[in-house]
A and B are shown apart, each in its own frame.
Chain A
Amino acid sequence: MSNKKKLWQIFGPVLAAFVLLACVFLLPFPLTHYSQNDLRESSVSFSSQIVKGEAVKNAAFSDKKVNYVPFFGSSELSRIDSLHPSVLAEKYKRNYQPFMLGKAGSDSLVHFLNMQEMQGTLKTKKAVYVVSPQWFTKTGSDAGFNLFYSPLQTVDWLRNIGHNQPSETDQFVASQLLEKSVVKNNAYYHRLLTKVSKGEKLSTANLSTLDIKHQILSRQDALFSRCESSSNYKSRVLPAAKSLPKIYSKNALDRLGYEEGQKGTTNNDFHIKNSFYTTRVMPEKKALKGAQKDYDYTKSVEYAYFQSVLDNFAKNHTDVMFVITPVNQRWAKYTGLNNDMYQESVQKIKYQLQSQGFNNIADLSKDGGKDYFMQDTIHVGWRGWLELDQYLNPFLSSDSSQTNYQINNRFLSKDWQNLKPSKQSLSSFK
């Protein structure tokens, strides 16, 4: 055999493989089909894969049969019990169905990037944003970042910026992403984000490479995001909905929540769900006593991440409701979490919202002491979910209203991040 022929035998198959791969990634045939059941299950799968990608989000939010509404949040979303928003929407045939985005670790930076893949949705749909004061630690809770990050988010974001001058929010987020190892070690993204962080416009050449990246990455997303399977809807939401009374009555449901809470929290004095208590609290109970007395949520880089999300809502005129979550008061007393500090951080969050025209706020932060309002340490459940429904149902069932947001970029600043909130300091912050 001639040498040339040998070389062909070696590299021919490699070339063929690359050609095939290019076909899969570049030819315009659809790879995705999501059934109604797939979407329903995805709505309560809490999968990081969905936050990373755009295929499932696109399919769900453009679905013609079911009006899926994005619920951005973190660990609380997955506390499914009889009065969970997904269960109530299913049982009482609401004209909306929550689509849960996020799980433990997804904070505002994650959601800012998550939203870049669904800007169209934010323009046409309402949204719910669940804020946990626990996100607002000094350096932000970026432990979850790698779990939820995908380059596709960055590509979508940069394409959304397009030929425009990057906004202050864009510059801020770019400078923060440059600190993350997943971005830092990739020369391509590093170069583009450095540009954005300096406020320089992306060139036409930049944008055409981004188009190619988008083609490849979204293809990859469509190929792989369907592998994730979950059965929460079938195994948890539907059975829970079955046990509810036929006709919605707040009093009857409240009683039911009380009873279920009572039945579910028998092995501890904190009103924490039994299974959570045995697996998560008991092993470390001693160590946790007084462990949170120095926690401080009032000064945090997270306030600026949160501002990035607000800016993005404003840009898309999204009609959005914010939910501020409480902590279990019985538990907080044990861990020594300072309630005054907690309320100060809530005031700071609310000031940031209201002063910019975000007035739909479900502030549950003072309800953490009510019986069976919480399912465990920091997550609402039973009666808490029902209370939240009093805000969500009227908001989501009605038509969208005109939004009027006035964004103040000062909320991105270090001054705001480190501001010690008090009545005076807040009202004088401009």
Chain B
Amino acid sequence: MPNLQPYADPNYFVYLLLALVPLAIGLYFGKRFVAYEILVSLAFIFLIFDDKTHAGQGVALIVYSIWQFLLGWGYVRYRKEHNQSSVFYTVTALSILPIFLVRLSGAGIFHAQLSLLGFLGISYLTFRSVGMIIEVRDGAIKDFHPVMFLRFMLFMPTLSSGPIDRYTRFAKDAAVAPAREEYIDLLGDATKKLFLGLFYKFIVAHYAEIAYNYFQGMAMSDAHHGMILSWWLIPVAYSYGMYLFFDFAGYSLFALSISYVMGIRSPINFNKPYASKNIKEFWNRWHMSLSFWFRDFVFMRFVFLFLKHKWIKNRNTVSTIAYFVNMLVMGFWHGLTWYYILYGFMHGAALAGNDAWIRFKRKHKKVIPHNKFTEGFAVVLTFHFVMLSFLVFCGFLDTFWFHR
């Protein structure tokens, strides 16, 4: 059996698209072959984990799915009769528990063997399942459909790196076949996205990565000379920023394209993020499915909770705290290292600072100019700040300073 990592090389697309042909023909004629869709999904998931180095992860995925299945099923049943906050928090905590343990052990803080619970895609599956539990709490999900639940949890195109979908949205698409007109438009969009993704990931990101590796090497030779800082860190930051965007955006385009072919409109993930005028706009354009998830399920909940209980009265103070909480949680989610946490902190501070600046600007409308040039300046400033934060995020500084 070959081992196929998702979207890793051009052959993968050939195999996957061929496997999807019957499904696409079905959808074109208004039929959704659910059993076949599940079969293809499972087969391609199996092919990710079917060799010695990945087999453990496959087992972890199965255990994880059973765990989340039981939590989802149990909580929906409970929620029909009761609605206690403590139960909701407990279930949410249990749902997060696997990734929490994996992150702890990954950072070397806790039993290392717990990293066995981890697998490619655990962080994304966690969003799917936690999001679902929150939607149950809100009453948006009333019934537990075992098959739909598994189709959602194990939806293959977005398994390893998103975009992060919501259960209610997914279930609406997945229950029916789209109208023929709509499906043709979806196929058109899928084709465009696929080719743009190929260009992003296999051409632009490929060269950006070569540049990134080269600049890291140059910076490391300065490190070997005992230098605390190096001019080479600047191109390291920018080349990584380019690599990260084109690699990840390319990847997301693949996932969307394949989703569309399967008649599922997974949410988009990137919308020209480097053209953002401020950091808030950046997060509305960068890794959107993640930041919207955090906005809805962390930031907003936090603000409502504080305002409802009147723990803090000043709205601005609450949102400032919420920004930090939001971005720090995101940092922790990436992994328990100083640079992910610092990255979260930087973005929390930038979001809070941005809000403060906008309030200040509103008060002094007459003295602060606003025109094309200031907007251009804002784009440039935001871009450079983001690159600086990516220099932290990429982890190279850790190597540069502490692992010479």
Which A residues are within 8 Å of any B CB, using their own CB?
A: 3, 6-7, 9-11, 14, 184-187, 190, 278-279, 282-283
Contact = CB atoms under 8 A, between A and B. Distances in A.
B184 A3 contact: yes
Contact of B221 (A9, A10, A186, A279): A279
A11 B190 CA distance: 11
A190 B2 contact: yes
Interface in B148-181: 180-181
Given A10-B187, A283-B224, 13 more contacts: A3-B180, A3-B181, A6-B184, A6-B188, A7-B187, A11-B191, A14-B191, A184-B3, A184-B51, A185-B51, A187-B2, A279-B221, A279-B224
A185 B184 contact: no
Nearest to A190: B2
A281 B224 CA distance: 10
B180 A278 contact: no
6 contacts: A3-B180, A7-B184, A9-B188, A10-B191, A187-B2, A279-B224
Contacts of A11: 191
Contacts of B195: 14
Contacts of B2: 185-187, 190
A278 B3 contact: no
Interface string B2-18: 11100000010000000
Contacts of A185: 2-4, 51
B404 interface: yes
Contacts of A6: 184, 188
Nearest to A191: B2
B399 to A, nearest CB: 14
A186 to B, nearest CB: 7
Question: 4 closest Cβ contacts across the A-B interface?
Answer: A283-B224, A187-B2, A10-B188, A185-B3
A187 B2 CA distance: 5
Contacts of A187: 2
Contacts of A14: 191, 195
B188 to A, nearest CB: 4
Interface in B1-43: 2-4, 11
A172 to B, nearest CB: 22
Chain B interface residue bracket vs A: 10 to 19
A278 B225 CA distance: 8
Nearest to B8: A185
A283 B225 CA distance: 7
Nearest to B191: A10
A3 B191 CA distance: 16
Contacts of A7: 184, 187
Contacts of B187: 7, 10
Contacts of A9: 188
A10 B184 contact: yes
A155 to B, nearest CB: 15
Contacts of B188: 6, 9-10
Nearest to B184: A6
A9 B191 CA distance: 11
B404 A283 contact: yes
A407 B314 CA distance: 87
**Residue from A7, A10, A190, A278 whose CB has the most chain B CB atoms within 10 Å:** A10
Nearest to A9: B188
Nearest to A185: B3
Contacts of A283: 224-225, 404
A34 to B, nearest CB: 23
Contacts of A278: 225
B43 to A, nearest CB: 14
A6 B195 CA distance: 18
A282 B180 CA distance: 69
A185 B2 CA distance: 5
Contacts of B191: 10-11, 14
A10 B184 CA distance: 9
A6 B221 CA distance: 56
A186 B224 CA distance: 39
Contacts of B51: 184-185
Nearest to B180: A3
Nearest to A13: B191
A379 B187 CA distance: 58
A17 to B, nearest CB: 8
Nearest to B4: A185
A185 B404 CA distance: 34
Contacts of B225: 278, 283
Nearest to B3: A185
B210 to A, nearest CB: 12
Nearest to B221: A279
A16 to B, nearest CB: 12
Contacts of B11: 186
Interface in B223-258: 224-225
Contacts of A279: 221, 224
A227 to B, nearest CB: 11
A38 B224 CA distance: 35
A14 B187 CA distance: 12
A27 to B, nearest CB: 21
Nearest to A3: B184
B397 to A, nearest CB: 18
A183 B150 CA distance: 34
B265 to A, nearest CB: 17
Contacts of A190: 2
Nearest to B188: A10
A9 B192 CA distance: 12
A11 B192 CA distance: 10
B216 to A, nearest CB: 15
Nearest to B15: A187
B2 to A, nearest CB: 4
**Residue from A7, A185, A278 whose CB has the most chain B CB atoms within 10 Å:** A185
A10 B188 CA distance: 5
A224 B175 CA distance: 47
B193 to A, nearest CB: 12
B59 to A, nearest CB: 20
Contacts of B404: 283
A266 B188 CA distance: 67
Contacts of B224: 279, 282-283
A10 B186 CA distance: 10
A342 to B, nearest CB: 28
B103 to A, nearest CB: 27
A52 to B, nearest CB: 16
Contacts of B180: 3
Contacts of A10: 184, 187-188, 191
Contacts of A184: 3, 51
Nearest to A282: B224
A9 B320 CA distance: 50
A6 B185 CA distance: 8
B280 to A, nearest CB: 36
Nearest to A280: B224
B120 to A, nearest CB: 15
